[in-house]
Chains A and B, each alone.
Chain A
C-alpha cells in the first residue's frame, strides 16, 4: 500500500468541534450570496450535530434514508427557487447545504477528511461573487482552523488548547507564502475560459447594445465602478470628459440599437490637444473599451512597445463608427493605455453610413417629424437648425429627471410635446430623431461622462452613475458631438448627476455633491481597493506578461520557467530546513559550538558515531591529532561539563572559553594536511 490509508476511527468530540469550526468559517462568507433558507439550513445542520451528545451518533437508519432524502428535498427547493439547477449559483447553494449534511453524517476520520475537502472548495466559491479585500480576509478564519482540523483528524487532541494549533497553522502558512507567491506569479493564466461559462457568470452591470427610455436611468442608480483612469499630466475638465462607448444608429421608434459592425475605422490625428492616459476597466461582459473622444491611437497594454495595431496580438479593433472593441467579451479587468485628441470632429465614411443615419421608422412619432420639417423650413442652415433645437430644450420647460413619466406608442412625440420630463437617453434620442427628420444624419452615442477625481491617489473614478447618452451629427462631412442634456441641465455635464438632479430625487450616494467625511473615507478606501484590483484581482494574462518582462523573463520558454520555478522551490525547501536547524542551534549555543567542532573533525576524516559521548570522541580525536590533542580534549571536556555538569555561576565564562577553543581549532584542510 503505497499511499497510507487514513484509518477510519470514530470521531472524538474534540475532532468534531474542529471540523465544525472549519465548516462554519467556510460557510459564513457565502451566507450573503446564497438564498436565506439555504444559509440557515446549512449552518443549522452543523449546529444540530453539535447539540447531539457525543455518544449518540445518528443511527444508521438515519444515515441511509433520511439524509439522502434531505439532500434531494433541498435540491428540489433550490431548483424551485432558481428555476434551474445546473448553473453556478444553484450549485453553490446546494454545496453550501451539502457540507452541512455531510457534517451531520460524519462518523469517522475518513469522512472527516472528505468534509475538509468539501469545506475548502466551498471557501473558494465565495470568490464568484466578490473578490474584494473583505472577501479575501473572510477566508482567513477558515484557513487558520484548517491546520487544527487536519491535525485533529490525525490524532484526536487530548487537551482543549485551541490556540497552539492555530499558531502552528499560521506559521506553516507563512512558511508557504513564498511558494504561494511564486505560483501566483508564474502559473499560466488563460485568455478565456476552459469551457463555456454558465450564463449567470456573464450578467454584469454596464452599458448594453440597446438603449430604450429608462435603460440608462436604471444604470445611473448604481455606485459601482465602471473604470478608473490615470492621466499622464492633468485631467481634462469635466465638460470634456466624454467616454465614448456603444454607438446606436438603428431606431425602431422606441429603442436604439447597434448597426452591424464594420471594421477599419481611421484614428484621428494627434495634435496639441492630444492627451495620454491609462484605463483600468472593470469587466462588464461585453466588448467595448472606453476612450475619451476621439481616440488618436489604439489601446495597448501599458508596458508594450507601440505594436502594429493590426497584429494578432492587438488588444482591440476600431469600427467605422469609432467604437473600440476588445477581441472577446471582458470577463477580467483589463488595463490599457490610450491617447485621445479632445474636441475634434472626424470625417464620415460614405454614402451607406449617411443613409443608415437618416433612417426613421415609418408611421412613428409623426408630430416630431412634422415639427422638424417646419422648424427646418424657418432657418437657412443645418447648424442654425441644430442651434434652434438646442435652444428649444433650453428655454422650454423641460425637466431633467431620473423619474420620467410613462410614454406611449410614439415615445418621442409624447416626450417632446407632452410630458417634457426625461433623462439623458430621452433628450439624446429625441434630438437625433429631430435631426434625422430634418435630413441631417445623426446617431446616439452612449458612454460615460464626467467622473470623480479621487484626491487620494489622483486618479479618476468613473462609476455606472456617470453613464450618459449624447448625439453625433454629420455636418459638412464630419461627425460632431452635440449633447442636448447640456442644454437642459448644464450642471450635469459640468458637475455630474448630483448637481443636475433635483434634491428630492434618489441619487446614488457617491454621486451626491456634498463631500462628507464618510464620503472622503470611501474615496480613500476606493484608492486602496484600486491598488488591490490592479495588483491582485486584475492579475491576468496581460499583467503576468508585463511582470515577466520586468523580471527580464519576457522571452523565456515555458520549460525554462518551469525549471526556474522548480529551482526556486528547491531553494525554498533548503532554506526552510536550514533556518529551522539554525534556530535550534541558536537556542543552544553550547550544542552549536560542539557540533561545529565535531563536524570539522569529521570533515578532516574522523567521523563521530551518533551515540559516541563527547569525552570518548575527544580522546579518539586527540590520539589522531596529537599536536592538537590538548585543545581537542579541552573542547570535549568543557562541552561535557556544560552539558552534563552541575549548574555553575561561571557558565557564561565557560561558554566563552569553549567558543575560544573551538575558534582555535584548525580548519579541516589543515587537519587533513598533517
Chain B
C-alpha cells in the first residue's frame, strides 16, 4: 500500500515538475534548463523535413556538396536552437501584484521580469488566452501587466503563466511554465440599473429623501489616507495649498446607510442580492455616505473610504455560493 502511495506521490511530483500544474512557485523563479522546454515550431519541422529530403537526395546521387549544404543548414538550425534557449535562460520572473475588478471587466496581474544578461527579444508571456510580447533590455527589470477576463465573483487565480520565445528564426519555440499562487479578487457585477439606496435610518434623512446633489459643502479638513478620491479638494491641491478633503453638511447623519442582506426582498436570489449590494456600495461611495454592511455571518460596521469600500466589496465577492 505504501509503495503504491509512494509511486502516486512520485508521479504527482514528476507531473508538477513537468507541467507546473499547481501554484507552488514562490518568490523569483529563474528560468534554467530544468524548466525550459524547446521544440521545433511547425515551420521548424517543415525545414527539418526539407533537410531530410535534401539528405536523402545527396545520398542517392552521392553529392558531397549536397551533404555539405545540408549539414551547414543543420548547423544553422542547431545554432538557432541555442539562441532560442539563450533568449529565455536566466530570466528571473517574480510575482508583483494581483488586481481587483468587477466581474465582466478586466482583471490585471503584474509580474516582474529581471534580465541580468543581454537583451532578450520577442519574449511572449501568456496566461490563459491572453499574451503580451515584450523585449527585455540588458541588465534591466521590466514590469509586465497581464490582463484576464474577470468572469465570476470570487478569487480568480492568475493560473499557470507560459513564458515563451521563438526568437531568432522562428524555427524553435522555447517555453517555461511558472505558476505563482497569485490571485485577484473579482467583485460581483453591480446591478444596473439599480434601485436607489435605502433611506438612512436616522435623523433628517428619514424625513427627506434628498439626493446627494443637495448635500452642502460644510468645509475642509486635512486629507487622511483612505479618503475617497472624489472628496479631495482638487482645486486646493492644484493651487498648491495642500491636501484637503471636503466635509459635507450632514454627511455623518444623513448619509448613514445600512446595507442589510436581510432587508432585501425575499424573492431575490443570492447573486442578485450581491449585485444589488455592490451597486449600492458604489452609490454610497459616490454620494459620500458612510455605510454598514450586514451579510449572513458577516457584519461590517459603519465606515467610509477606500479601505472600507474594498473590504465590503471583498466580502461580497467571497460570499459563499448558495449550497456550498
Which B residues lie at the A interface, using CB under 8 A?
27-28, 30, 39-47, 49-51, 53-54, 56-80, 82-83, 85-86, 92, 94, 112, 114, 116-118, 122, 139, 141, 164, 166-171, 173
Contact = CB atoms under 8 A, between A and B. Distances in A.
Contacts of A117: 46-47, 49-50
B251 to A, nearest CB: 44
A3 B50 contact: no
Given A6-B170, A120-B73, A180 B68 contact: yes
B63 A3 contact: no
Interface in A309-333: 331-332
A177 B72 contact: yes
B17 to A, nearest CB: 18
A591 B171 CA distance: 32
Contacts, number: 186
Contacts of B58: 124, 127
Nearest to B168: A151
A327 to B, nearest CB: 15
A180 B74 contact: yes
A539 B68 CA distance: 11
Main DSSP-derived SS at the A contact region: helix
Give the interface size bracket for A toward B: 35 or more
Interface in A503-558: 536-540
Given A6-B43, A147-B76, A124 B63 contact: yes
A456 B318 CA distance: 90
Given A113-B47, A147-B169, A176-B77, 11 more contacts: A3-B45, A120-B73, A128-B61, A143-B76, A151-B170, A179-B75, A187-B71, A193-B61, A537-B65, A576-B79, A577-B82
Contacts of A2: 39
Interface in A183-226: 183-184, 187, 189-190, 193-195, 197, 201
Contacts of B166: 4, 154
Interface stretch (A167-175, A291-299, A423-431): A167-175
Nearest to A610: B92
Contacts of B92: 610-611
B68 A536 contact: yes
6 contacts: A3-B40, A154-B169, A155-B170, A332-B62, A577-B82, A584-B118
Interface stretch (A131-139, A245-253, A395-403, A463-471): A131-139
In the complex, the 8 A-B pairs of residues with the closest C-beta atoms, listed nearest first: A176-B75, A154-B170, A610-B92, A180-B75, A117-B50, A179-B75, A180-B71, A150-B169
A113 B46 contact: yes
Contacts of B76: 143, 146-147, 169, 172-173, 176
Contacts of B68: 136, 180, 184, 536
Contact of B64 (A151, A179, A536, A572): A536
A645 interface: no
A2 B71 CA distance: 26
Contacts of B86: 577, 580
Nearest to B68: A184
B46 A153 contact: no
